[in-house]
Structure 1
Amino acid sequence: MPITQQQLLQILPNAGPVAGVFVPVLNTAMGKYSIITPARIAAFLAQVGHESGQLTALVENLNYSAQALLSCWPARFTAALANQVARQPEKIANIVYADRMGNGSTASGDGWAYRGRGLIQVTGRANYAKCGEALGLDLIGNPDLLAQPANAALSAGWFWSINGLNTLADAGNFTQITQRVNGGQNGAADRLTIYQRALKVLV
């Protein structure tokens, strides 16, 4: 069941300026990955809505204060280093994402090049390679392709599919979906609010 622009705006009211762009690409992505029942669509829109600031942010914002760096990544920052790189997103990305997820060292620049992009943020060189292979895109050579609405939506559908999230949506296991998307329960209340709103709109 494709969604309409009116439904999308009832579910994600802050998406007004971009709703017209996203309705067709979301419908394409959801169709491709069998996100086609009210339960699946509600769960998907709740997660992508939260992850992307209601479809307004397609690239990860790493503009952190020193305090936030120490709070989010205590293993990666000393107080001195946090003060040194605070509010410098490129330096922060290269430190936070160095030597993991297929990325090279801090000096490689991979952390910044392959920071989170898309509606469910694909992060790290290895994940960009997998996603690019699945979608037929050269995301290693041109990572910014994931910041285009159509590819941002398709990458979220791909992530949803490879993590088996339709099955969890069918079971109504929304907490577990959040766990797989986020790796924790950050923003759980907002995700749940959007999910419940979406279920009312779609059912």
Structure 2
Amino acid sequence: MGGKVPEHQATFPITGAQLHEIFSGTSQERCDEVASIINKYSDKFEINTPLRMAHFLGQIGTETVGLKKLQESTCYSSKDRIKEVFGKIKYCDLFEGYESDLTECDSDETPKSCNPALKKITSDLVVKDKYVCSSNLFDYTYSCRMGNGPASTKDGSTFLGKGFIHLTGKGQYQTITTLWNSDSENANNKMEFDGRDIDLLTTNLDVAMKASMYFWQKKKLNDFADNGIENIDIDKLGGKVNGVIYPSLPNGYDSRRSITKGAFNILK
């Protein structure tokens, strides 16, 4: 494809024009900027073949809604949608008539059970107003797991999905901090993504991209990408990003498949 190749000449460079063809709803300016940053780091993290690049774009494109949103939205305005996505017995406090101690976790890394106990998700359950379009939803449903404390700590909304691959959970932020700081390349540029530097994951495209590539490398996702471009290959890799184990499908699996295959057809 045509288009200006960004300044850094990677082994497998991509152009803003290619990204704009893949993400037609994203501005050319954004595509040019993202392409330049990808090319800056793609060799370091060995995202250097059409197959690997297509998988990478399929994942970050889905997570960021076309490279545009570097933070997960906290606003679920529909009670039905909240129930559909988060309606599980362990999240009993979501529903009217059920109350949980939000300052504690159960021993099995779930929030405290409710009084009365919720034993089944039924059609008559109604989501509480306090969880509608509110960070309370993530403080609760992301609590007691992924390195997060109970809902009262607000770790859930603090460490919700950020960056190009939407890093999620305090534990993951700490892992990326360790990976970043243990790289000699960053000796004069230390980060605390679980503290003072968290906002850089949403305000600095360069930092957000590099942090996402540390995640990619840590999860050995190039190995999964090398397996191919079939749905099962994309779903397994997407599961590693989204935190589910195949045969369960990751959120947005249809988008991950579509973008990855479309990108591969353009890049190959």
Alignment size in residue pairs: 203
> In the alignment, which residue of structure 2 is the partner of 1:66?
79
Residue among 170, 181, 190 paired with 2:255: 190
The alignment partner of 1:31 has SS state of: coil
- Normalization by structure 2: what TM-score? 0.71
Correspondence list, 1:38-57, <5 A: 38-57=50-69
Residue among 144, 147, 150 paired with 2:199: 144
Q: Output one character per residue of 1:15-74: Cα deviation in whole Å (capped at 9) or x when no partner.
A: 215213211212223222100001100111011111100111000102112222211112
Q: Output one character per residue of 1:103-134: Cα deviation in whole Å (capped at 9) or x when no partner.
A: 12211111111111011111111110111121
> In the alignment, which residue of structure 1 is the partner of 2:18?
7
Relative contact order, higher structure (CA 8 A, sep 6+)? 1
Native 8 Å contact 1:63 1:86 kept in 2 = no
In structure 2, how many angstroms separate the alpha carbons of the residues matched to 1:109 and 1:29?
A: 33
- Normalization by structure 1: what TM-score? 0.92
Native 8 Å contact 2:16 2:33 kept in 1 = no
> In the alignment, which residue of structure 2 is the partner of 1:26?
38
> In the alignment, which residue of structure 1 is the partner of 2:237?
177
Q: Do residues 79 (structure 1) and 95 (structure 2) align?
A: yes
Q: Which runs of 4+ in 1 moved over 3 A?
A: none
* Code of the aligned partner of 1:19: C
> In the alignment, which residue of structure 2 is the partner of 1:135?
180
Native 8 Å contact 1:61 1:89 kept in 2 = no
CA separation of 1:185 and 1:114: change in aligned 2, threshold 3 A: closer
Larger Rg belongs to: 2
In structure 2, how many angstroms separate the alpha carbons of the residues matched to 1:160 and 1:176?
A: 14
Native 8 Å contact 2:142 2:169 kept in 1 = yes
The alignment partner of 2:260 has SS state of: helix
**Structure with higher helix content:** 1
Native 8 Å contact 2:234 2:256 kept in 1 = no
Q: What root-mean-square deviation, in Å, do the aligned CA atoms of Structure 1 and Structure 2 show?
A: 1.6
Runs (5+) with no aligned partner, structure 1: none
In structure 1, how many angstroms separate the alpha carbons of the residues matched to 2:195 and 2:56?
A: 28
In structure 2, how many angstroms separate the alpha carbons of the residues matched to 1:191 and 1:18?
A: 20
